[in-house]
Structure 1
């Protein structure tokens, strides 16, 4: 999207008051319910809720292993899926399914995941929450080009379309490559951004130097993350370790990853998405959706409003918000006697030091919350809905749990103490940096007043140091930091919020908020990113590089 086109959508998307970086009070009123974006309605009849059994993504098996490493292979491919009953939807998938297969690894063992791109477009795979070397992090212009789409000589210059106009500097250069132009197969007008591109296959190496945690992987291509994830490019990646194994938490079929995502469907069953260019040769969405795309169908593990038969026992629910822009407040209805239905045991970066009981959990795009629900607190036969208090009509319901009447054995429990979690010391911070996430009158979605340009770093932390980073917002911005998890130490000059506990990689900034975090940079030097995880904001340049040295 060029600058002129972007400026043309401003007032229709948010209103004149929200365009200025100083318009935080009006922004807070505009999104008082915590609901950014605009609803895109489906063009076909939607199915009745709670009729489809909850699917569970298959676990990907390694193709081989050795003494230190497990090797996996995933083919990115187009697949015809039955997401809505009786309707075929063409999806971009990892391995032919949505969500993609769940990759399960262990701390201390290296995982090498080879991706083969048989899609009609380039891709970039980012392990969200992964502690990885820079060349495997999924930098947004390090493209995996489709099989047969370019020759070796083209790899230096093949890029993604349209971003040079938005960045303000044609063919921006940086540490990741050199600019140029190229007519890409199936994508007329493809223009270059700097990147380390390969054709057909790329292997990502994840050394496993991190705690047990619920991670996920998704497309991260510059300018096109929104449509890529919307069309199906997302999957779970779970890390296990010995401290977690030693706890009596729910396991096996009672340990459930739940990917919650909203989507909209066209009359022919295809995913409906308001791209400026339906062929995706140019990035961006039409004006009314510049603040994010909200779907009217809620999917859990790729199924609309599913149901699950559960025992009267404890279940671990790994909640992931994989929506482009929609936040949720998740609650159980009815609440069990005494409340505290959702016992949080983990956050983005793994287990907490101690469990925290919630009546409801507010979860922004890309955040994860591991919770334990004890269904023995309900009478046999109870139908327990997982609801979204930020939604309305059909988007107010997520899924349903049907509590069994048969007696079962349940040895699981939630201990009063979980694992040791080191608390970073604010006094150890060697510097403080400010990052303002704003909609600028001149350049659209920005970080510190500038739209994204690959290779231009706005911070250079040193390995082994702790820094204090302060994020501030005008509107709603879930902020994600690559490489290392962080700890939230304050909101708006006060204590952290009720959902800020533990190690985080994504923090929810509501309108007109300021959040302080501590980050310790470890293991890997190189260029990484911080950005808004409202994917429409991200695609329209609300990203920045930082280089660890």
Structure 2
């Protein structure tokens, strides 16, 4: 039987050790939190004049049409290419895109009907596509070294030494406490130049196959190239993927024009209107990483929703279903819906990362970390025609406090509803079912004498096996953080069992694939490793942390 005790003394001592290691690296948690009380990272300032809030209409991402539906499979094609877009009004911004738009086109799928997406790489660097939240065979999961090379690509002549290979034996990670420092770290060599004998590299094109054998939910796809995920997403490589089924359709939730996908992402712009990002190598070819001030994460001073700055959307006096994704690299939000006269509207959560809850949960505010998704219903019925409802970020200040606004344009009939019971197919894993309990620390540390972000005291190595579990096993994982770390597991969803040794919070309801750890916080999650065998990942979804070593391998056998 797996160990099921609560957070022990050694784990709490480990928090202090983790924060001490942070101080050694120069990424002092206390200093970082003093500058940005609700964030981990540093903020860029835009050089171009920024538009006023709530002037630009909310765009809705286009829905991609399949090129074929034969054989019971929906087939799509997407070309990754450079494009110049008008993100800020009247300003032209070069971006990297899926299909020439930001966000990329939305793929609408049906549960149980497979999807194949052929990606063509027309960009100047290698790419990898990961369907975040997908129950996907390992060959299509978007492992960071499974590159799609562009035309005429040649490997850099001198790989940068910034990672660590064979640093120390990770076999103990299966049961390790993860608090014992970084003893015995030897054998450093370049992360970008590491040999990965399992990598599958193609040139120009790759087919990604998604069985869609999972609960209906909002997923998203984004670049996952090793060492360069953060700047690639920042440049525009992100899009939505929605799964539906008949049972969800029959619930009567708001639909059609009253169902709105909302991809929230912060960015910054230079004096010429180009995206501003502190890459050490702006070509994203040779040297990974960001300038030292931004090692903890890159924050922008412009809040985009579906690629538009602080947009506004005209709505009926009715219920609306908001499918919210935080696609920011490092910024956290605490969302609140408030009228201009100060009245706060309920945010009724009906779904989490991995689909519908068992029953609705009503929130006044909704914290959302990078990569998390929330499915919420907002009722505009009692807002006067002509009135405005602002979605604000309680963690922001100045321009980053505003997110988007809704203006109620008219009275209208509303036949939607929020059922008391939403879903009957949520897993009911119990601690007694767990075959193993594992402990992991997420903290700052040293890589080759420089800054890095580590899981269990070591940075990512694609050639190392970190965690091995058997297909079908149930496990409890205990996670502990020094600063903010949104922890994401590939392939599987999980339930949050506890935070700081106490019960999970209301916004932890349902099945998730990303859990937001706050500074110094410990959380427990439970999951069953089912679906497929193969090599997967778990990592921090602060994209800068991920690029600087905060990933680990998960082998399902």
TM-score, shorter chain, exceeding 0.5: yes
SS in 1 for 2:248: helix
For 2:151 and 2:91, the matched residues in 1 are separated by: 29
* Larger displacement relative to structure 2 (443-452 or 213-222): 443-452
Which of 412, 420, 444 is the aligned partner of 1:439?
444
What is the TM-score normalised by the length of structure 1?
0.89
TM-score by length of 2: 0.88
Deviation, structure 1 residue 426: 1.3
- Aligned residue pairs total 511
Written as runs of structure 1 = structure 2, the 5 A alignment for 1:152-167 is 158=155, 162=159, 164-167=161-164
In structure 2, the partner of 1:4 is none
Distance between the aligned counterparts of 1:452 and 1:311, measured in 2? 49
CA distance in 2, matches of 1:22, 1:350: 40
Q: Does 1:378 align with 2:383?
A: yes
Change (3 A) 1:288 1:535: same
Deviation of 1:24 (Å):
9.2
> What is the aligned-residue RMSD (CA, Å)?
2.5
> For 2:46, what is the secondary structure of its paired residue?
coil
Structure 2 residue aligned with 1:9 = none
Q: Is the 8 A contact 2:319 2:377 kept in 1?
A: yes
Secondary structure at the residue paired with 2:163? helix
Post-superposition offset of 1:279: 2.1
Q: 1:456 to 1:273 in 2, by over 3 A?
A: same
1:36 aligned partner: 40
Residues 390, 164 of structure 1: CA spacing in aligned structure 2 closer, same or farther, 3 A cutoff? same
Deviation at 1:498, TM superposition (A): 2.2
For 1:224, the equivalent position in structure 2 comes to 228
After TM superposition, list the pairs within 5 Å mapping 1:490-509 onto structure 2. 490-509=498-517
For 2:29 and 2:508, locate their aligned partners in 1 and report how far apart those are by CA, in whole Å.
Answer: 23
Deviation of 1:312 (Å): 0.4
Partner of 1:80: 84
Q: What residue number does 1:410 align with?
A: 414
User: How far does residue 519 in structure 1 lie from its aligned partner after superposition?
Assistant: 1.2
How many angstroms does 1:165 deviate by?
3.6
Which residue of 361, 364, 370 maps to 1:359?
A: 364
2:399 equivalent to 1:394: yes
Offset of residue 277 of structure 1: 1.6
Match of 1:49 in 2: 53
**Does the 8 Å contact 1:148/1:199 carry over to 2?**
no
Secondary structure of the structure 1 residue equivalent to 2:399: helix
* Residue 337 of structure 1, CA deviation: 9.5
Paired position in structure 2 for 1:321: 326
Deviation at 1:48, TM superposition (A): 1.2
8 Å CA contact 1:250, 1:314 repeated in 2 = yes
Equivalent position of 1:261 in the other structure: 265
Match of 1:488 among 496, 500, 506: 496
Take 2:157 and 2:229, find their aligned partners in 1: how far apart are those partners? 12
Question: Distance in 2 between the 1:394 and 1:527 partners?
Answer: 42
Quote the Cα distance in structure 2 between the aligned partners of 1:383 and 1:434.
Answer: 47
- Which residue is 1:145 aligned to? 149
Partner of 1:311: 316
Per the TM alignment, residue 30 of structure 1 is displaced from its structure 2 partner at its CA by 4.0
Deviation at 1:458, TM superposition (A): 1.4
- Flag the 1:536–1:207 CA change in 2: closer, same or farther, 3 A: same
- State the 1:16 CA deviation: 8.0
CA distance in 2, matches of 1:292, 1:540: 10
| CA distance, structure 1, for counterparts of residue 324 and residue 255 of structure 2 | 15
Q: Secondary structure at the match of 1:216?
A: strand
Equivalences for residues 321-340 of structure 1 within 5 A: 321-334=326-339
- State how far apart, in whole Å, the 1-side matches of 2:500 and 2:25 are: 18
Residue 422 of structure 1, CA deviation: 2.5
Answering whether residue 541 of structure 2 is matched by residue 533 of structure 1, we say yes
Q: Does 1:521 align with 2:529?
A: yes
Q: Secondary structure at the match of 2:280?
A: coil
Q: Secondary structure at the match of 1:43?
A: coil
Inter-partner Cα distance in structure 2 for 1:464 and 1:18:
37
Contact kept? 1:312, 1:378, Cα under 8 Å: yes
Matched, 1:246 2:243: no
Alpha-carbon spacing, 1:335–1:546, altered in 2? closer, same or farther (3 Å): farther
Structure 2 stretches lacking a partner, 5+ long = 1-17, 168-188
